[in-house]
Amino acid sequence: METYYHNNPKIEEWTEQIIEKILTVCILSGSDSNSEYQKGCQLIAKITALLQGFSSLPAEYLADGLKQIIEQQLPDPRVINNFPAFHNTMNRMIKEGMLTVVGDLEIETVQLELTQAQPALALVHQENEKVDRLVDSGNQKLAELIENIPDTECIDGETNALNQTQLYRERIKKTLPHLFPKETIQWDVTLLSQTFLAQLNDILIYCADMDQKLNKEIYFKDGWKVMVVGEEELAYPRRLERELKNLMRIGKKIK
């Protein structure tokens, strides 16, 4: 599986996005959570279709292989442990996403090991029962289920660019404490008349879309490290996590 992953940049990109979606589903609720979950299922379907094109990969190993690819790219287990619903959500997303592509393949025969469910995850069990019924009734009911899920593009289209960025910021505020549970994070910090999204130790996180023009040099002179983030980093918290950890490790300024 590692060979498939490294030999195709699309698989690498989609896998990272799937992990982001699973984490986001665990954080959000309601229609926002459903929207992110559906995006994750679509990404699963893309990878499934791509893996089906490799004749060397038997169809019966497809689900196990896909799960292995995702698990190999997961962040530190201590991060995942902060999201009790993560593994249940991942397995459910794999199962439902594959159904849109595999069709008649009986996915129940593939061993997807689920972690022990928590009482608060009753909704997860209900969704798993839905998927099991879909396997029995075929793709027609699956299509009906997907059709009833709020359309992602419509939801995004109702929000202008400014509000979308604000939503990303709020998501980061919920996610970063889970990614750095032992660190103290200060939000909406104003320093030398400049407003920063957050301060993590000696790192100042600045949103590129802010109206103020940032003069990084004055902060460098005072020993601060400045990370300028755009919509891409805000939309994918794990990318922000990786860049922050690199900055902490190497001790260099990101410009």
Whether 78 contacts 11, CB under 8 Å: no
Neighbours of 183 (CB within 10 A): 13
Strand partners, 228: 206
Q: Which secondary structure element, helix H or strand E, spans residue 158, and what is its range?
A: none
Compute φ and ψ for 72, nearest 5 degrees. -70, -20
> Residues spanned by CATH 3.40.960.10 within the chain?
161-250
CA–CA separation, 35 and 143 (whole Å): 16
* 93, 115, 132 from 18: Cα distances, Å: 9, 19, 22
More confident site: 211 or 51: 51
Please write the tens of the pLDDT for every residue from 61-105.
677 888 888 888 888 888 888 888 999 999 999 988 888 777 544
Confidence of residue 54 (pLDDT cuts 50, 70, 90): low
Confidence of residue 122 (pLDDT cuts 50, 70, 90): very low
More confident site: 88 or 130: 88
Mean pLDDT value of segment 164-173: 72
Neighbours of 38 (CB within 10 A): 20
Q: What is the 3-class SS of 42-111, one letter each residue? A: HHHHHHHHHHHCCCCCCHHHHHHHHHHHHHHCCCCHHHHCCCCCHHHHHHHHHHHHHHHHHCCCCHHHCC
CA dihedral 189, 209, 9, 177 (to 10 degrees): 20
Contact partners, residue 225, CB within 8 Å, separation at least 6 = 202, 203, 204, 247, 251, 252, 253, 254
* 35, 101, 104, 141, 144 from 147: Cα distances, Å: 12, 16, 20, 10, 5
Residue type, 36: E
pLDDT exceeds cutoff 70 at 195: yes
Cα radius of gyration rounded to whole Å, the chain:
20
pLDDT of residue 145: 39
Helix (H), strand (E) counts: the chain: 13, 4
Architecture of domain 161-250: 3-Layer(aba) Sandwich (3.40)
β-bridge pairing 225-229 and 194-200: unpaired
Residue type, 53: G
Confidence of residue 116 (pLDDT cuts 50, 70, 90): very low
